[in-house]
Structure 1
Amino acid sequence: MSVLRFLLNGPLRRRIRLLQAKLELLTGRIEQLEQAFAATSFPDAGTVERMNATAGQCITVETQEHSLHGILVNMHQDSLELMDEQGQHVVVPAARILLIRQ
């Protein structure tokens, strides 16, 4: 037991602390990269401008699961708001949008 205690208190313990610090650093970097990726993905500034110009017009939004047709009510930073054929407001998350057609 004393050898095990020595290893845990000595070089092995330092190695574990070093690995924990590296893991925390990598976790922080991953979070930064995810935020940077989110900022550069849909919708970019040009898309927001074009979509705001089509507000009030009929568009079709394609997601992997659905094809939604309706009037563009508003373009948010992370979603589109449509009014469908039944007059209901539908919010489509930008991350799910594959294609937008007029």
Structure 2
Amino acid sequence: MSSHPRRSSVDEQTSKQLEDKLAKRPGKSELIERNILKDDKGLAPALVAAREKLQRSQLEDNLAKAMASRPPREELEKSGILKDAEAEDAAAAAAAA
């Protein structure tokens, strides 16, 4: 039985480039600071997923409540916050003619 030296499928230059890039990659804490990774604070992945699902659900509920309690367009037009949509459409049509 003859033993042949194992050849790498990657050439030496590519291997060196890969090692350099791996040596320069940012650490976990930097990735967390840059919001690339989430800080799991040592929790089990299942708990992290459940926490994120709960937070999203709470955010959706808060948004739905805010949308339900916003004043109607007519009220905003009366108070001068929004321009009257019909008057705006009429002005745009007159300008186009």
Q: Which has the higher helix share?
A: 2
TM-score w.r.t. the length of structure 2 is 0.37
TM-score w.r.t. the length of structure 1 is 0.35
Larger radius of gyration: 2
